[in-house]
Amino acid sequence: MTERIKEFLARTEDEGPRLVVDLDVVRANYANFARALPDTRVFYAVKANPAPEILDLLARLGSCFDCASVVEIEQALAAGAAPERISYGNTIKKERDIARAHALGVRLYAVDCEAEVEKIARAAPGARVFCRILSDGAGAQWPLSRKFGCHPDMAADVLERAHALGLVAHGLSFHVGSQQRDPRQWDAALKASAAIFRELAERGVELTMLNLGGGFPTRYLKDVAPVRVYGRAIFRALRRHFGNRIPETIIEPGRGMVGNAGIIEAEVVLISRKARDDAQRWVYLDIGKFNGLAETMDEMIRYPIRTEFDADELGPCVLAGPSCDSVDVLYEKEPYWLPVSLEIGAKVLIEGTGAYTTTYSSVGFNGFAPLKSFVI
Ligand SMILES: *Cc1c(COP(=O)(O)O)cnc(C)c1O
């Protein structure tokens, strides 16, 4: 909780729930990434929080942008980023959208198979492409599974095909899983990447770029290592596998750039018990899975929750959202401990909510409005 957010919440009234994002924290996070990986360009993953004020700030600071759709590309351009600073990083794109991105000047595209390479060769001739390889996501609290990327054995063929079709076989990418709490997880992906660089060099194709993805964590209930620890671990792994021929590198932080910059103010709607002697209370908030807290899916992300009764005795609660869908339960398998004195109508502050909240909020399930956002 920053002083600026505290002051903003005290000065303004709102029915809520509302997210407040402090741009000073985003600015500090950007500086920390730049310092931790000084030779690496930062491509902010727009999907984490595309608020125009955040994109404007990052564009001014010199950030590049990782976009997943034409709309995100337009948002980055509107913030003042030149098209050379934009990567179309989604491996799953309609050919029409590739053509639109090309018309907007975007020249850098992600692929993970030959069919996507062929689309890009047709719709964005001469563009640079990088091939995403699978990473098992071990150690990540929000793993990305097998949806994106190809097996490292396939990557050389995909990029050779790109080269043959007149595209620039630019490099490789991977993502070690979001909220990656183990800085050593980059090592295996870098080892596989170095082997692909060598394989392609033997085939006469020189790759020059390595995209190290996102995954940098934000602090929720458990401590995480600072970004400089990640920077050191990544740099050591680059040295180990690429020697003194380290390629151009980029990172795509999303959560790590904005997660800790935001706080949601929400309200307790109801506190009840399901049986007279039930040890657990049910606490229902005015925010749930459908209006901002989608990342509580499978109880994967556990947000710190502050109340004005935090000095009091705690008791176990099932925490749930306000909608009429029974999946709208935030924490039940592992109960959440909240003060026994917590009252209906009390405000609660949900920390670390700057990333993956507003955009995951539904258009109005049950008539609950999308999460409001204030960027200060
Ligand atoms: C979502 C995403 C990111 C950001 O991941 P974080 O874990 O939030 O840092 C980076 N790159 C790509 C391709 C993504 O899809």
147 band by pLDDT with thresholds 50, 70 and 90: confident
Whether 113 is a known active-site residue: answer no
Residue 80, by phi and psi: left (phi above 0), alpha (psi -120 to 50) or beta? left
For 92, 112, 209, the CA distances from 102, given in Å and listed in that order, are 15, 19, 20
- Burial string for 25-40 (b: 16+ CB within 10 Å, else e) reads bbeebbebbbebbeeb
Atom number of ligand 1 nearest to Cα 216: 9
- pLDDT attached to residue 281: 97
CATH architecture of the domain with residue range 89-253? Alpha-Beta Barrel (3.20)
Q: Is the CB of 137 under 6 A from ligand 1?
A: no
pLDDT digits (tens, 9 = 90+) for 276-314: 999 999 999 999 999 999 999 999 999 999 999 999 999
Tokens 């005795």 -> residue: 313
pLDDT digits (tens, 9 = 90+) for 26-77: 999 999 999 999 999 999 999 999 999 999 999 999 999 999 999 999 999 9
For residue 137, pLDDT beyond 90: no
**Model's pTM, two decimal places?**
0.97
Residues 345 and 312: beta-carbon distance below 8 Å: no
Q: Is the CB of 178 under 6 A from ligand 1?
A: yes
By C-alpha distance, which of 114, 199, 91, 89 is closest to 153? 199
Which residue lies with its CA nearest to atom 3 of ligand 1?
A: 214
- pLDDT attached to residue 154: 96
CATH superfamily of 260-375: Lyase, Ornithine Decarboxylase; Chain A, domain 1 (2.40.37.10)
Give the Å distance between the CA of 222 and the centre of ligand 1. 21
Spatial neighbors of 307 by CB under 8 A, at least 6 apart, are: 338, 339, 342, 346, 347, 348, 349
Q: Is the CB of 180 under 6 A from ligand 1?
A: no
Give the Å distance between the CA of 66 and the centre of ligand 1. 8
For residue 139, pLDDT beyond 80: no
Give the Å distance between the CA of 254 and the centre of ligand 1. 6
d(CA 194, CA 241): 6
pLDDT digits (tens, 9 = 90+) for 66-102: 999 999 999 999 999 999 999 999 999 999 999 999 9
In this prediction, residues 315-342 reach a mean pLDDT of 97
d(CA 131, CA 114): 10
- pLDDT attached to residue 374: 98
What are the residue ranges of CATH 2.40.37.10 in the chain? Answer: 260-375
- pLDDT attached to residue 24: 98
For 34, 122, 133, the CA distances from 161, given in Å and listed in that order, are 34, 13, 16
Kindly report the average pLDDT of the chain as a whole number: 96
Residues 130 and 117: beta-carbon distance below 8 Å: no
What are the residue ranges of CATH 3.20.20.10 in the chain? Answer: 89-253
Mutate to test the pocket of ligand 1, among 252, 257, 260, 300 (most ligand atoms within 8 A of CB): 252
Atom number of ligand 1 nearest to Cα 68: 15
Which residue lies with its CA nearest to atom 5 of ligand 1?
A: 214
Q: Is the CB of 213 under 6 A from ligand 1?
A: yes
